[in-house]
Amino acid sequence: MGLIDNAKDAGEATAQKVGEFVDDTKERVSDAADQAEADAEVKKAEADLERAKAESEATEAKNEYKENLR
């Protein structure tokens, strides 16, 4: 009966390790997805900032032009 108990214990240990591996992999994938989402938000914010700077420069140029006409 010792052989059967040893095999059962080994099977349970293997199942536990596989479960831990699956959980770790799931967490890594989730972390990678979170990082990608954060990176996308940063890129969007940078693009919005560039657009705002361009609009500001365009408005400044328009105002200078109008001032020169006066």
Question: pLDDT tens digits, residue range 7-22?
Answer: 888 999 999 999 999 9
pTM for the model stands at 0.62
Q: Would you state the structure tokens that stand for residue 41, as one six-digit string?
A: 């938000």
Is the pLDDT confidence value at 40 over 70?
A: yes
Q: How big is the CA angle at 46 (ends 45 and 48), to the nearest 5 degrees? A: 65
Q: Could you report the per-residue pLDDT of 20-31, keeping only the tens digit for each?
A: 999 999 999 999
Instruction: Give residue 70's pLDDT band: very low, low, confident or very high (50, 70, 90).
Output: confident
What DSSP element (H or E) covers 1?
none
What's the length of the chain? 70
